[in-house]
Amino acid sequence: MTAETARPGSITARAPRLDGEQLLKQLVPPRQFRDASLENYRPDRDYPSQGEAVAAIRGFLDGFKGSGPRGFFGRRKGPAPLPGIYLDGGFGVGKTHLLAALWHAAPGRKYFGTFIEYTALVGALGYATTVQLLTGASLICIDEFELDDPGDTRLMARLLGELAESGTRIAATSNTPPLALGEGRFAAQDFLREIDALAARFLTVRIDGLDFRRRDVAAHAVVVDDVPAVLETFAAIPGQRTLDGFDALLEHLATVHPANYVGVVEGLAAIGLTAVHPFRNQTDALRFVAFVDRLYDAQVAVVADGTPLDAVFPDDMLSGGYRKKYLRAVSRLVSLTSRTPAS
């Protein structure tokens, strides 16, 4: 019996703690965006902002020309362009695709990570070491920029400020325009100075459109009758399978720092979840969202029974400050539960 045909394991046995070096190595676009380019992004003609976003990114890339190492007199030619570009838009309109395309096309030392990966890096290495490692980079890409709490707000304002001052350019994506970051989540009005300073570094580009993922998948998350049997069909593809009760997964996620969820999903082909039910508290729900993000990056199939995974966030959560995060998770769960061994 090979590892692939063995019985599924349990996700609760996966509790990695990644060190700084391992976290830094992860700072590249996720596998599914390896070939993302501006050429294979197909702007939707019904939404002119998509074509405009491509043009804005090309303009941003032009800003690298003649930058690189500064000349003898420490001066660059022409006026300094804004150091940052900020792609703001709905779910599945291709923000990450465009960010990855920009990363691939940019010269020099560059990093690509989600907001949570950068805050985790600071958590693992400390602020000073993180600045030291990132200083001198030509480009820092931050996917899913969001300000969840006052600590992260100060940290990011300071980190990005310092990097931008030393010549690093910054590109970010978010479901929220920069000046609305933090709204409904914490006393954002106490951090207007930080949020204003962050926003002032970016050229904001709004992208409208339909959820690309929903163009060819089911409208709802798929629920199966027999989780182990469907999970078994994924034995045909490389990677491990796990099978757990929904509550056991949630309990486990509470014991692992979200920065390490990337290690929890590593090498997985599919996970089975039984007895899925609606969330009763926001803490569990937000951890699950962070976990879904990592499953999505790694394109791990989800096989589940119980409540459909697009119906696990109750209305009171969906109408609160984290609404967009939940809706993004729903969009991703519809996609991941629609996966088959052939897709």
**Chain contacts with Mg ion (rule: CB under 5 A):** 95-96
- Strands of 230-338 (E only): list them: 240-245, 268-276, 301-306
Q: Is the separation of the CB atoms in 175 and 88 below 8 Å?
A: yes
Residues with Cβ < 8 Å from 66, sequence gap 6 or more? 76, 77, 78
* Contact flag: residue 30 with ligand ATP (CB under 6 A): no
C-alpha closest to that of 29 among 332, 298, 325: 298
Which member of 31, 42, 65, 206 binds ligand ATP (CB under 6 A)? 42
Half-sphere exposure of residue 168, counting CA atoms within 13 Å on the CB side? Answer: 23
State which of residues 12, 41, 197, 275 lies at the interface with ligand ATP (CB under 6 A): 41
Choose the binding region for ligand ATP from 85-93, 132-140, 233-241, 252-260 (rule: CB under 6 A): 85-93
**Among ligand ATP, Mg ion, none, partner that 42 touches (CB below 5 to 8 angstroms by kind):** ligand ATP
CB atoms within 10 A of CB 335: 23
Q: Phi and psi for 135 in degrees, rounded to 5?
A: -60, 140
Per-residue contact flags (x/-) with ligand ATP for residues 324 to 343, judged by CB under 6 A: ----x--xx-----------
From 36-44, 67-75, 260-268, 276-284, span contacting ligand ATP (CB under 6 A): 36-44
Selected from 53, 57, 85, 97, the binder of ligand ATP by CB under 6 A is 97
- Considering only 13-21, 41-49, 75-83, 248-256, which stretch makes contact with ligand ATP by CB under 6 A? 41-49
- Is 323 an interacting residue with respect to ligand ATP (CB under 6 A)? no
Cβ atoms of 253 and 285 closer than 8 Å: no
By CB atoms closer than 10 A (0-12, 13-18, 19+), residue 319 is exposed
Asked if 188 interacts with ligand ATP (CB under 6 A), we say no
Out of 67, 212, 224, 237, which residue is the one contacting ligand ATP (CB under 6 A)? 212
**Contact flag: residue 124 with ligand ATP (CB under 6 A):** no
Give me the least distance between CB of 283 and ligand ATP, in Å please: 22
- Helix extents (H) in 201-268: 227-233, 246-253, 261-265
Longest dimension (CA), the chain: 70
Q: How far is the CB of 64 from ligand ATP (least distance, A)?
A: 22
Q: At its nearest, how many Å lie between Mg ion and the CB of residue 96? A: 3
State yes or no: residue 47 binds ligand ATP (CB under 6 A): no
Q: Is 176 in the site for ligand ATP (CB under 6 A)?
A: no
Structure tokens of 297? Answer: 């990056």
